[in-house]
């Protein structure tokens, strides 16, 4: 019983859920998006600030369970400072792990702390929690790039 829970609620996750790195909404930003998990009502408002092709800031305001809030925190830690091109393999790897029904062996070199969500990938109901902020980031990125193209 506890082992099952412990594999979900790893210390990294509980820590991030408490500290929430990069939390809060900041200026400047090129895109702001609002994503909801319709099943449970968890929400995130996320702002993305690019400088050239570098992700300079991801700021956010969210409400949700420990999995969804920790996921936002871990994500910002991983992606801020990287070039857009560098974020994509990380994003893809995270998606692949979460959608792999616990069958995908995550690559720690790419995902770093985010491998802690491998336990959530086994629980259908929690996959959306872990993905919420990642989908919001990707959406914000598309919008920011559209705007700069226009």
Partner 1 sequence: MEGLLPELDVIRKDFPILERRLDNGQQLVYLDSANTSQKPQVVIDTMVDHLERHNANIARAMHQLGAESTEAFEAARDKVAAFIGAPSRDEVIFTKNATESLNLVANTLAWATGELAIGAGDEVVITEMEHHSNIVPWQLLTQRKGATLRWFGLTDDGQLDLSNLDQLINEKTKVVSLTWVSNMLGTINPVTQIARRAHEVGAIVVVDASQAVPQLPVDVTASGADLLAFTGHKVVGPTGIGVLWGKRAVLDQLPPFHGGGEMIETVRMDVSTYAGIPHKFEAGTPPIVEAIGLGAAVDYLGHIGMKAIHAHEQAITAYALEGLATVPGLTVLGPLDATQRGGAISFELEGVHPHDIAQVLDSRGIAVRAGHHCAKPAHARFGVQSSTRMSSYLYTTPTEIDALVEGLEYTRSYFKLG
The residues binding partner 1 (CB under 8 A) are: 1-2, 4-5, 8-9, 14, 36, 38-43, 63-68, 123-126, 129
Q: Which is nearer to partner 1, 125 or 142 (CB)?
A: 125
Q: Which is nearer to partner 1, 4 or 108 (CB)?
A: 4
Q: Which is nearer to partner 1, 26 or 34 (CB)?
A: 34
Q: How far is the CB of 134 from partner 1 (least distance, A)?
A: 17
Q: How far is the CB of 42 from partner 1 (least distance, A)?
A: 7
- Estimate the crossing angle of helix 66-79 against helix 84-99, to 10 degrees: 150
């Amino acid at each position: 019983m506890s082992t099952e829970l412990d594999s979900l609620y790893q210390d990294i996750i509980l820590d991030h859920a408490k500290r929430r790195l990069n939390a809060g909404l900041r200026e400047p930003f090129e895109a702001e998006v609002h994503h909801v998990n319709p099943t449970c009502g968890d929400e995130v408002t996320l702002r993305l600030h690019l400088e050239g092709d570098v992700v300079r800031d991801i700021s956010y305001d969210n409400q949700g369970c420990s999995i969804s809030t920790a996921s936002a925190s871990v994500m910002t830690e991983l992606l801020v400072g990287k070039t857009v091109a560098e974020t994509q393999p990380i994003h893809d790897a995270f998606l692949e792990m979460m959608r792999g029904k616990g069958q995908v062996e995550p690559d720690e070199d790419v995902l770093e702390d985010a491998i802690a969500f491998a336990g959530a990938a086994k629980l259908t109901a929690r996959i959306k929690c872990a993905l919420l902020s990642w989908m919001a980031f990707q959406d914000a990125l598309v919008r920011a790039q559209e705007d700069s193209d226009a």
